């Protein structure tokens, strides 16, 4: 079993005085990332909306679910294989779309793509990635990839992103619904820090022909920041980041214009169910709606002809005081009644969490912050370790609970406080 090999490797290295460079616990990963990263970079990754109670709720709800393992299942081999569309996945999870990964590591999404390819884990490429999707895809070999769309104010731009996603062989389109406006992110606000204004996390946009052809929006902001050393550093950082080079970008104001244009089209607060029908008509790719958190919305999604939903509260980054995702999973599973796939994220940290979500009826889960912190700790190797650790723990819990395959994980193996009647 994979988990036994992993334990053996770690314990034997321990004899030689080596301990894993990528911490195994989430608390350890978070602490190491905090030590390595700058204050604003860590704040952006770790932060949530408002008082961050949604982040806490996600964890508290998962901790309320208890596993009731079967003994004497005689499980000597476990298969975690999951058939998903045309792919056989080694384990029931994917890497969540995480924007601005250059804050965690220079190689950002490209390092993650290498880890995804070496572990055969599907990667959901973010609209806010740090590299154009074509460059990320070039690191993925034949590994499954999906594209996550932030539906822009410019329909033509969204269509162009979708065409590019088709061209790089995406198996599905993930449309994120919960970020039609950016949440009230107090840590970032306290530091006066937005990565986007510095030109970070907008590579999909400045590499897009439709984006580049959009007219520059008028500069009608009456607010101009005072000229300080910090402002000069920010201007240099922004202009050296974009293709074209520092001097040419400064002369042409290309980088500044690109950021202003991005801010004018980034999200679309007017997005509604008609837009889902429109997106459906634009592509043959399977569509997953990310951010659904209510049974009635899940039913609307099924009626809209999408292929699945990802129950998510964006890792607590959008609405403070939102219901946790795992708490609504049973009622959504019941309402949907097998009509489409249900995936879930927000707060998933361990193999035990994955087991609980599957027992409640999710097809699989998305891993978010754990891999972003692991990227900060050790680049591609860090992400590979993080994925392997979650897989190993899931495999052990399955074996220790009497489950030989994912189909054996069911609601009878857990208890939880949420009534679905
Ligand atoms: C730093 C950061 C950036 C994110 N960027 C995106 C994004 O670009 N698109 C998206 O749909 N979700 C984004 N998410 C949300 C994740 O896809 C996922 O829903 C969330 O991380 C799950 O919560 P968890 O990390 O606490 O498990 C981001 C999350 C974080 C932490």
34-89 per-position pLDDT tens digit: 999 999 999 999 999 999 999 999 999 999 999 999 999 999 999 999 999 999 99
Minimal-distance CA residue to ligand 1 atom 20: 315
Check whether 150 is labelled as a binding-site residue. yes
**Residue 87 designated active-site:** no
Check whether 142 is labelled as a binding-site residue. no
Neighbour count for residue 21 (Cβ, 10 Å): 12
* The pLDDT value given to residue 420: 73
Q: Quick one: tokens of 131? A: 């590299």
* The pLDDT value given to residue 89: 98
The mean pLDDT value for 296-307 works out to: 98
Q: Quick one: tokens of 293? A: 């958190």
CA–CA separation, 72 vs 400, rounded Å? 9
Active-site residue identified among 68, 120, 314, 416: 314
Q: In the chain, pLDDT over 70 holds for what percent of residues?
A: 100
Tell how far the Cα of 43 is from the centroid of ligand 1, in angstroms: 13
Mean of all residue pLDDT scores within the chain: 96
- Around ligand 1, the residues with Cβ closer than 6 Å are 44-45, 96-99, 126-128, 148, 176, 290, 312, 314-315, 317, 345-348, 368-369
**Residue 421 pLDDT > 70, yes or no?**
no
Asked if residue 157 lies in contact with residue 211, where contact means CB atoms within 8 angstroms, the answer is: yes
Asked if residue 117 lies in contact with residue 233, where contact means CB atoms within 8 angstroms, the answer is: no
Q: What is the pLDDT of residues 351-406, one digit of tens each?
A: 999 999 999 999 999 999 999 999 999 999 999 999 999 999 999 999 999 999 99
Q: Which atom of ligand 1 is nearest to the CA of 349?
A: 27
CA–CA separation, 298 vs 63, rounded Å? 25
User: Domains of the chain: which residue ranges?
Assistant: 20-187+268-415, 193-265
Q: In the chain, pLDDT over 90 holds for what percent of residues?
A: 90
CA–CA separation, 305 vs 136, rounded Å? 29
Neighbour count for residue 347 (Cβ, 10 Å): 27
**Residue 113 pLDDT > 80, yes or no?**
yes
Cβ neighbors of 364 (< 8 A, separation 6 or more) are: 82, 84, 89, 92, 93, 94, 343, 354, 358
CA–CA separation, 346 vs 136, rounded Å? 24
φ/ψ bin of 397: left (φ > 0), alpha (ψ from -120 to 50), beta (otherwise): alpha
Asked if residue 212 lies in contact with residue 206, where contact means CB atoms within 8 angstroms, the answer is: yes
Tell how far the Cα of 88 is from the centroid of ligand 1, in angstroms: 24
Nearest by Cα to 265 from 218, 214, 221, 219: 214
Q: Which atom of ligand 1 is nearest to the CA of 45?
A: 1
Check whether 176 is labelled as a binding-site residue. yes
The mean pLDDT value for 147-161 works out to: 98
Identify the residue whose tokens are 């754990």.
Answer: 370
Asked if residue 211 lies in contact with residue 217, where contact means CB atoms within 8 angstroms, the answer is: no
Q: What is the pLDDT of residues 195-232, one digit of tens each?
A: 999 999 999 999 999 999 999 998 877 778 888 988 89
Tell how far the Cα of 332 is from the centroid of ligand 1, in angstroms: 21
The mean pLDDT value for 107-135 works out to: 98
Minimal-distance CA residue to ligand 1 atom 18: 314
Confidence of residue 340 (pLDDT cuts 50, 70, 90): very high
Check whether 260 is labelled as a binding-site residue. no
Given this structure, which CATH class describes domain 20-187+268-415? alpha beta
CA–CA separation, 303 vs 280, rounded Å? 12
Cβ neighbors of 339 (< 8 A, separation 6 or more) are: 302
Q: What is the pLDDT of residues 310-329, one digit of tens each?
A: 999 999 999 999 999 999 99
């Amino acid at each position: 079993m994979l988990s036994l090999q992993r334990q053996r490797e770690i314990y034997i290295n321990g004899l030689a005085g080596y301990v894993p460079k990528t911490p195994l616990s989430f608390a350890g990963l978070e602490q190491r990332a905090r030590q390595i990263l700058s204050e604003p970079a860590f704040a952006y990754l770790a932060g949530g909306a408002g008082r961050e109670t949604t982040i806490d709720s996600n964890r508290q709800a998962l901790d309320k679910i208890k596993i009731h393992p079967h003994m004497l299942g005689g499980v000597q081999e476990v298969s975690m294989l999951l058939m998903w569309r045309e792919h056989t996945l080694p384990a029931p999870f994917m890497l969540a779309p995480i924007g601005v990964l250059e804050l965690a590591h220079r190689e950002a999404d490209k390092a993650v793509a290498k880890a995804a390819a070496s572990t055969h884990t599907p990667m959901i490429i973010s609209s806010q990635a740090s590299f154009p999707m074509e460059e990320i895809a070039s690191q993925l070999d034949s590994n499954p990839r999906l594209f996550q769309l932030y539906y822009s104010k410019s329909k033509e731009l969204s269509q162009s992103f979708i065409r590019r996603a088709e061209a790089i062989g995406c198996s599905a389109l993930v449309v994120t619904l919960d970020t039609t406006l950016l949440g009230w992110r107090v840590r970032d606000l306290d530091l006066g820090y937005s990565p986007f204004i510095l030109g970070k996390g907008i590579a999909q946009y400045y590499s897009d022909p439709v984006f580049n052809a959009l007219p520059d929006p008028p500069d009608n902001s009456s607010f101009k920041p005072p000229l300080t050393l910090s402002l000069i550093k920010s201007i240099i950082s922004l202009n050296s980041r974009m293709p074209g080079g520092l001097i040419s970008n400064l002369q042409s104001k290309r980088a500044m214009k690109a950021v202003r244009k991005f801010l004018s089209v980034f999200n679309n607060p007017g997005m509604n169910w008609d837009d889902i029908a429109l997106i459906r008509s634009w592509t043959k790719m399977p569509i997953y709606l990310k951010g659904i958190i209510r049974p009635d919305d899940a039913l609307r999604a099924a009626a809209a002809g999408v292929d699945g939903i990802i129950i998510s509260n964006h890792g607590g980054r959008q609405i403070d005081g939102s219901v946790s995702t795992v708490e609504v999973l049973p009622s959504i599973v019941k309402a949907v009644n097998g009509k489409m796939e249900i995936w879930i994220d927000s707060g998933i940290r361990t193999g035990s969490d994955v087991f609980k979500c599957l027992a409640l009826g999710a097809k699989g889960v998305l891993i978010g912050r754990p891999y972003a912190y692991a990227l900060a700790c050790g680049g591609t190797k860090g992400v590979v370790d993080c994925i392997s650790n979650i897989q190993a723990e899931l495999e052990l819990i399955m074996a220790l609970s009497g489950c030989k395959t994912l189909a054996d994980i069911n609601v009878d193996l857990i208890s939880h406080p949420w009534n679905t009647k």
